[in-house]
Chains A and B, each alone.
Chain A
Amino acid sequence: MITRHRIRRLSRWGVAGLALTVPAALFVLPAQASEDGDAAENRLFVATDQSVENWNPFLQIYFIEHQFRQVQYEPLIRHSAEDYTATEGLAEEWEVSDDGLTWTFTLRETVWHDEQPVTADDVEYTYHIILNDEVISARSADTVELIESVEAVDDRTVEIRITEPSVTLELSDQVIVPKHIWEEHEGNWSDWGNDDFPIIGSGPWQAVAYETDQFIRYEANENYWRGAPGFDELIFQYYTEPDTAVAGLEAGEVDIVGNLNEAQVRRLDGMEGITTVVAPNRAWLALRFNTGARTIDGQEFGQGHPALSDVAVRQALHHAIDKQELIDRVRGGFGEVASSIVPSVFGAIYWEPDDDVRVDFDLEEASRILDEAGYAMGDDGIRVSPDGDPLVFSFGIDAGDADRESTALFIEEWFSEIGVGVEQVISEDVHDQFYAGDIDFTFTGWGINPDPTYNLIRQTCGQLPEEPPGGNSDAFYCNEHYDNLVAQQAAETDPEARAEILAEVQEILYTDAPLIFLWYPTVMEAYNSDKIADVTFQPTDGGMIMGQIGPWAYHSAAPTGEGGGGLSTSVLVGAGAAVVLGAAVAGVGLARRRQTADDRE
């Protein structure tokens, strides 16, 4: 009995001891980290909320994976930091034959991360994978159709022959992979996870380690042809909750945070040592109309309102929307009035309406257009079409999207002032209903690539469904003149000539208004400007950091040499807290003893 008691008492002390040492050890931990403070200063921490599970660059689809490809691999041609136009990558120069069918690339002399030289064979082998792997070729069917042959003429020259003139090769920023690594997986490329760390590429950073849902660690490539990056390491650190990421930025745990909302930007704005970035995004939000749902053979379907196939009605509605007011009231001022399908960040191909075509918010003008087109005002304040249909449209609104729901309220109010009624349909499957032709208009939003061809094609006649519902047409729009221009611009390799065609394409969409582009949303980011200097934005003038196409920001960022310093205070606080905790435990223990004494009495 006595020994058992003694053992129990001893073990109780042991537990108490453990309870004290474990927290103490935890508080000492930050102190250890601060010993190599210089190293911490040379690491760039970036917050991310997406996971990378697949390191095979041919199979990746997400933004975080896109960023991995941008920093890990160097493509033949990159999108410039200035305005997303083509600029050098692995190719020093490139030229296209007069018939537009043969592209010749001259490679620069540079090396892979394992110091093997980059040669034309690597480029040839990359396309060999794309053309011959079943899964990969299915995913890039457009490229596969385009390419006739890829041939390494000598070590530094590659000739790619294509089946029809196209800008795709210049604008696709296809990653180039090392043949000496990938040929070990000949024939099984899509089954291979490319997860032998460190991963071999030729970009400014090399992925050296990762932990699922925790971090991805890159080391600087000292041999990068543009010069070594400013920081020694680049670390993507996971934050599943944006508010936690903001707390991490304020605590000095992470240096760059993106995907912020308005409240977070306002909070961080003006905070010492933190710089906020509010830049236009490569995206737009629009209203899209059911301009007459029909199949590719002209068979009509659905219950769309016939008046919306009348250009005059759509133009009148365009006049009845105050885009700036929406941005101010719904988006808290964060956003930019949109004109057409190419966002303003693509300076070289962006189109702005001239005075003679510009549509301003003007309810009287809207009413005048409707009067002129024969839509007379009815007694109940709702206009009636020449065919006798009252102008009441069903408006599909995505359930749970607060921005869209409040935007809809403004639009409904303006439309009612020009005699157009709106019936709201709030549902999670408004888009299915739209594609079935049963709803008159909804919101739609897209991210746009430096080559906007995919989104332009979505408005062509060929996208109408073969059978309802379906197809890839955003608004059931069909205009042969537009279709011809879209095909022309995709084949035009002279940048200026292409920009001219794109201007005309955008003007057609603006004046025909199958979609009314409301705003270009903003990207909101913040970074630790005490620690980071010389960040290159994209576009360089007023652009973004994290959503870039290219490695510009992470490559250019350099330590100011003033970061850190927060650690020593945290160690002090930690030590203090450990003491307090110890005292608390001791206090509780004492109180307990006294209680047992009371109990005994």
Chain B
Amino acid sequence: MANEAATYLPAGSPEDSTGDAGPERRRSTAGFGRYVLNRASGAVVSLVAVLFTGFFIFRILPRDPVEQIMLNTPNATPELEAALRSEFGLDRPLLVQFWEYLTNTLSGDLGVSIQYQVPVTQIIADRLWPTVLLSGTALVLCVTVGFSQGAIAAWRNGSKFDKRTVNIALLLYAAPAFWVGMIAIIVFARELRLFPTGRMVSATTPNEFWPRLLDTAHHMVLPTLTMSAMLYAGYLLIMRASMLDEMGNDYITTARAKGLRDAVVRRKHAMRNALLPTTTLVFMAIGNVINGAVFTETVFTWPGLGYTFFQAISVPDLPVLQGLFIVFSASTILANLTADILYWFIDPRSRKA
């Protein structure tokens, strides 16, 4: 981790920012256009690759969706089986199916779910908000906690606090999500009865704004904490490594020599520069917010996309899998593209590349 972070030079260091400013500025507008085009074309190639793999990758699954559905159908008949097969076009040649998938997807139609028989876009739309809410909140929480703890740990490098913080974070990082979630449920839901075991709202909550808001917040506590506990280690370690790099620099010594308080030096000087290499990490995580957290959502019955994906695999519900695969990949690719573009503004060195 430390090496990885070290490849980024501290952008705010004096020789860097003063030296480049003059001559670079001139060709920067033309350069920016080319830069964006470069990155965007890369993203487009990735998206096309996703579109193609999205179709074939799930056909490798050995099970036949209609057969699986028949096993779960109280009134299975050969007629129903045949009807379903032709309704979903599964009886047509693979290439014909692929062509249809390609043209439909490009016109924004992701097909119809085999298990639920409703449009995939509707399934995704219904579950997008819960996923964004849960993963987004957890992301904010673990970035905040991870970055601040990481910065302090680096600042007190080698101290008891440093060791304890890193060890606890790594322990939680290594623990299976399923297990942590189950323990949280057993302690806080089953024994203490402080929180519900899952879901987003209670069936008995009146359908009005405030009661629902409070109820949702109440339901969110356990899954959000579980998810953040598992994920903040990554941010902590990156921030810690990046901070350690910064701390060796002269400008820190200068700041201290000026008589600034330690906390101010840490927050205003070191941490700002240390944040740069973590930008990509955070943007990638924003892309991943849509993917949700399969295990957290499953343990806590969170009505999001992660669980839907998990469940679609067991059928396999091909249109849902394809649709989610495209949405997941596209969100990550686009978030990366955004990070790349922002780098132009955050880090002047990227303009040379």
Contact = CB atoms under 8 A, between A and B. Distances in A.
A, B from the same assembly? yes
Nearest to B195: A26
Contacts, number: 167
B166 to A, nearest CB: 18
A250 B298 CA distance: 19
B203 A237 contact: yes
A429 B63 CA distance: 7
Contacts of B204: 33, 39-40, 43, 235
A414 B263 CA distance: 75
Interface in B199-214: 199-204, 207, 214
A244 B307 CA distance: 15
Nearest to B295: A241
A92 interface: no
Interface in B64-88: 67, 69, 71-80, 82-84, 86-87
A186 interface: no
B115 A62 contact: yes
Interface stretch (B182-190, B269-277, B332-340): B182-190
B83 to A, nearest CB: 4
Nearest to A445: B71
Contacts of A549: 74
A13 interface: no
B53 interface: no
Contacts of A566: 193
Contacts of B197: 239, 244-245, 247-248, 251, 253
Contacts of A209: 203, 207
Contact of B118 (A53, A139, A596): A53
A195 to B, nearest CB: 10
B117 interface: yes
Contact of A29 (B82, B203, B214, B308): B214
Interface in A539-590: 549, 566, 569-570, 573-574, 577
Nearest to A137: B83
B84 to A, nearest CB: 7
A51 interface: yes
B83 A139 contact: yes
Contacts of B308: 213
Instruction: Tell which of B78, B190, B193, B311 has the most Cβ of chain A within 10 Å.
Output: B193
Interface string A56-87: 00010111001000000000000000000000
Interface stretch (B215-223, B241-249, B342-350): B215-223
Nearest to A27: B194
Nearest to B299: A241
Most buried by B among A135, A140, A247: A247
A142 interface: yes
A247 B190 contact: yes
B219 to A, nearest CB: 9
A449 B75 contact: yes
Interface string A134-168: 01001111100000000000000000000000000
A439 to B, nearest CB: 15
Nearest to A573: B192
Counting chain B CB atoms within 10 Å of each CB, which of A40, A237, A577 scores highest? Answer: A237
Contacts of A30: 193-194
A211 interface: yes
A231 interface: no
Nearest to B188: A577
Contacts of B109: none
Contacts of B182: 243-244
A54 B113 CA distance: 11
Chain B, interface size category, equals: 35 or more
A142 B79 contact: yes
B73 A244 contact: no
Nearest to A60: B117
Given A138-B83, A243-B182, A566-B193, A447 B74 contact: yes
B123 A53 contact: yes
A328 interface: no
A357 interface: no
A237 B197 CA distance: 11
B56 to A, nearest CB: 18
B12 interface: no
B117 A59 contact: yes
A214 interface: yes
A63 B74 contact: yes
Given A22-B217, A135-B87, A214 B200 contact: yes
A27 B192 CA distance: 12
A465 to B, nearest CB: 12
B80 A61 contact: yes
B136 interface: no
Given A139-B79, A142-B79, A25 B194 contact: no
A43 B113 CA distance: 33
Instruction: Choose among B186, B202, B300 the residue with the greatest number of A CB atoms under 10 Å from its CB.
Output: B202
13 contacts: A23-B221, A26-B195, A53-B123, A54-B118, A59-B117, A61-B75, A209-B207, A212-B303, A213-B308, A235-B204, A241-B301, A574-B194, A596-B263
Please list the 6 inter-chain residue pairs (A to B) with the smallest Cβ-Cβ separation, ordered nearest first: A213-B303, A53-B116, A141-B79, A215-B203, A570-B193, A428-B62
Given A22-B217, A26-B195, 6 more contacts: A25-B217, A27-B194, A61-B73, A240-B298, A244-B299, A248-B197
